[in-house]
């Protein structure tokens, strides 16, 4: 799930770099918790386990304060 969150954040940064305006309501509709195609017991690659990940940058340039109470509860 953390990896999916990183992928979503990277996609948001790329959209912003291309000039797209990303609204908090848009991100409230995206979930990093995917349940499709989960293979609970198999086919996990281990050949990349020794690779160090890139540094994690948690900041997204999106103003979440505009979400109302109802929308914040959904997010």
- 3-state secondary structure string across the chain: CHHHHHHHHHHHHHHHHCCCCCCHHHHHCCCCCCCCCCCCCCCCCCCCCCCCCCCCCCCCCCCHHHCCHHHHHHC
pTM above 0.85, yes or no: no
> CA 23 to CA 56: how far, in whole Å?
22
Q: Once rounded to an integer, what is the mean pLDDT over residues 66-73?
A: 64
The pLDDT, as a whole number, for residue 60 is: 83
pLDDT, tens only, 24-65: 888 888 876 666 666 666 666 667 777 787 888 888 888 878
C-alpha angle 51-54-19 in degrees, rounded to nearest 5: 140
């Amino acid at each position: 799930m953390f990896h999916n969150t990183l992928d979503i954040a990277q996609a948001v940064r790329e959209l912003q770099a291309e000039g797209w305006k990303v609204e908090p309501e848009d991100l409230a509709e995206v979930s990093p918790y995917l349940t499709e195609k989960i293979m609970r017991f198999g086919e996990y690659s281990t050949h990349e386990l020794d690779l160090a990940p890139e540094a994690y940058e948690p900041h997204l340039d999106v103003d979440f304060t505009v979400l109302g109470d109802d929308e914040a509860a959904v997010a």
